[in-house]
Structure 1
Amino acid sequence: MSILDYKEDSVNLLMGNEAIARGALEAGVRVVAGYPGTPSSEIIENLAKVAEKAGIYVEWSVNEKVSLEVSAAGSFAGLRSMCVMKQNGVNVASDFLLHLSLSGTRGGMVLVPCDDPGAISSVNEG
């Protein structure tokens, strides 16, 4: 079942990353970029499955900085955007994040840094 198949007038059971993806769609996201890494990968995977049908742009970027730049570009164009990465990836994107905080955005933009409590799939605990 796709995240588009859930009905608003009924109770739907979703995993956390599915709920983030569905919430982004309901909020009107149009540009989504991210860098793969557990525990954040499933957000992009769920959105990529429905991208064409939902009319959104979704990409895996070459690194976290590029994913933030792609998301910011969508926001600069007035579109709602979302950037998804592991908590450690925020360090990689921090140079552009600093400049982004100075320039601002036009459309709404959400940064989703997914943490890994207990360091189950990361090299350190965030």
Structure 2
Amino acid sequence: MKILLTGNEAIAEGIIESGVEVVCGYPGTPSTEVILTLLPQKEELGIHIEWSTNEKVAFEIAAGAAWAGKRALVTMKMSGVNVAADSLASIAYSGCTGGLVVFVADDPGVSAGMPEEDSRYYAKSMLVPMLDLAS
């Protein structure tokens, strides 16, 4: 069966299907819809989902869960990577025992966000594996 989903809805579906146990983020378009898609199913899915104080806090909660052996995902917009960069660099070099996905929604052409920023350079400089999704 084929289902038509937005990119953020597809990320939310991937979270459900892959057994992620902790999802954190800070609201900001274009990444907000991932958590908004999951929230109505939170209890049914048994996933810890939360809006955090900022992207650094969200990242550190997800990293802590991954250090404890859980699968975790943190979601943020492109400028949020700047806020979380110090923690991201530390974790990138120390590693974690569970799975940790950092979902960053860049906004090429600045249609919804503030600055036009390419977060792929963070992944390259920190030697973090990166998937560059496109349609």
After TM superposition, the score normalised by the length of structure 2 is 0.83
Moved over 3 A (4+): none
- Percentage of pairs with the same residue: 50
Q: Which has the higher helix share?
A: 2
Amino acid at match of 1:41: T
Deviations 1:33-92 (A, max 9, x none): 001000000001111111110110000000000000010011011110000000111110
| Aligned ranges 1:1-126 → 2 under 5 Å | 10-126=1-117
Amino acid at match of 1:78: G
Q: What residue in structure 2 maps to residue 3 of structure 1?
A: none
Amino acid at match of 1:117: P
Deviations 1:93-122 (A, max 9, x none): 011111112221111110001011211122
Unaligned runs of 5+ in 2: 118-135
Alpha-carbon distance in structure 1 between the residues aligned to 2:7 and 2:14: 10
- Give 1:25 deviation, angstroms: 1.0
Matched position secondary structure for 2:76? strand
Amino acid at match of 2:75: V
After TM superposition, the score normalised by the length of structure 1 is 0.89
Root-mean-square deviation (CA), in Å?
A: 0.9
Structure 1, 33-42 or 101-110: larger mean CA deviation? 101-110
